[in-house]
Structure 1
């Protein structure tokens, strides 16, 4: 009996090790609550949250980074960093993440068609995309959230009204087509993120149960 359990356990570990990581993209305008929602999911499930924006900001802050100035220029202007840089940072973070389950929430990506094409080229053989969570929130509410975040000392160079206007324009022009792309594939999950954070999380968590990302209680 002990040997049988040990064998079963080893087979399960082997199967997990061989599985490709599963990814859920998390999309929404600046201030829509992507980071907050992902944080609550991580607290509940232990899955790994990767923020494309945070990875870029961390890379920008590294002394001697060859991409630092380029990343800062794009962040300051509210434009999109070249996909090769973003994909390489995501890939590295996924490879080094301490997650036996291999399930990742990647927020703020893909932000445009170039991002999606780059992911398909660089990552399609390395991970399985299960779909995209879309947090719907008006530009007015998003902007006020970001400005409040800036007043509280977020330390982010893009939490100002001039950059936020550019970021919202970029989101509508470049990222909304990505939302529509996943919707056409039947892989988009929409949520009203103007609700309180606890309610948004509850809605998202129910959807995670439906798609089999968490066990039904």
Structure 2
């Protein structure tokens, strides 16, 4: 993988036309291997910077529980560590953005591959402001995943190994694509949670609510390093 740019975030230009009924949005893709801490840090970005967190995985799991005709197919693919078809995930993300009153979104765990990326931009006409990439070793991510107890079907050693392989083969090319456009902000996700959030705050400073700019951030909550 080439050199990833570690630069302050720049507020992206507004999207003038998209497939969200004309709604103008700022979208940030949040990518990183399973267990890299994306979920924990997204929760803090939501709290401090006013974004809405859209987890592709959570949306898919909710679809499974809903009993829809896509649910069984999605469940089987997740168990196999495979990637769900783009049109399924994009439709769920699109509906979530339209229904939500906010105009700033963290899209977590998507796009998972280049086909996802191209389809998302073609269908929604939305290009991300930037990609937040949580960089973490497989050894550390495996330790985190095996240590959490959420009852998820994809938290066993065999599936974890498949997910790591899928991430390296499929998701790293997406990061390279946006890196070539100076849109990747890399975070060292192996560091302690408070230190990771300090890096996150620097990147998201341009999005801080104006009334909070002069205030110190509150003490960091005790959250588990999951993603």
Distance 2:46 2:124 in 1: 23
Based on CA coordinates, which of the two structures has the bigger radius of gyration? 1
Moved over 3 A (4+): none
Match of 2:94 among 91, 97, 102: 91
Alignment of 1:63-82 (within 5 A): 63=67, 65-82=68-85
How well do the aligned residues superpose, as a CA RMSD in angstroms?
1.5
Partner of 1:198: helix, strand, or coil? helix
With structure 1 as the length reference, what TM-score do the two structures score? 0.84
1:145 aligned to 2:148? no
1:37 aligned to 2:41? yes
Asked if structure 2 preserves the Cα contact closer than 8 Å seen for 1:21 and 1:128, the reply is no
- Displacement, 1:197? 1.5
Match of 2:201 among 199, 205, 210: 205
Partner of 2:174: helix, strand, or coil? helix
Distance 1:128 1:121 in 2: 9
Distance 2:100 2:36 in 1: 25
Match of 2:181 among 178, 185, 191: 185
Partner of 1:129: helix, strand, or coil? coil
Match of 2:64 among 60, 64, 79: 60
Partner of 2:29: helix, strand, or coil? strand
Asked if structure 1 preserves the Cα contact closer than 8 Å seen for 2:49 and 2:207, the reply is no
Structure having the larger proportion of residues in helix: 1
1:113 aligned to 2:117? no
Asked if structure 1 preserves the Cα contact closer than 8 Å seen for 2:49 and 2:204, the reply is no
Distance 2:66 2:179 in 1: 37
Partner of 2:98: helix, strand, or coil? helix
Q: Who is 1:164 aligned against?
A: 160
- Displacement, 1:163? 0.2
Partner of 1:190: helix, strand, or coil? strand
Unaligned regions of 5+ residues in structure 1, if any?
1-16
User: Which digits, 9 at most, give the CA deviation of each residue in 1:174-196, with x for residues without a partner?
Assistant: 00011111110000000100111
Q: Who is 2:132 aligned against?
A: 133
User: Which digits, 9 at most, give the CA deviation of each residue in 1:136-194, with x for residues without a partner?
Assistant: 00011111111111xx3x02100000000000000000000111111100000001001
Q: Answer with 167-176 or 190-199: which moved more.
A: 190-199
Equivalent pairs counted in the alignment come to 191
Unaligned regions of 5+ residues in structure 2, if any?
1-20, 215-227
Asked if structure 1 preserves the Cα contact closer than 8 Å seen for 2:133 and 2:186, the reply is yes
Distance 1:198 1:185 in 2: 29
Q: Answer with 191-200 or 24-33: which moved more.
A: 191-200
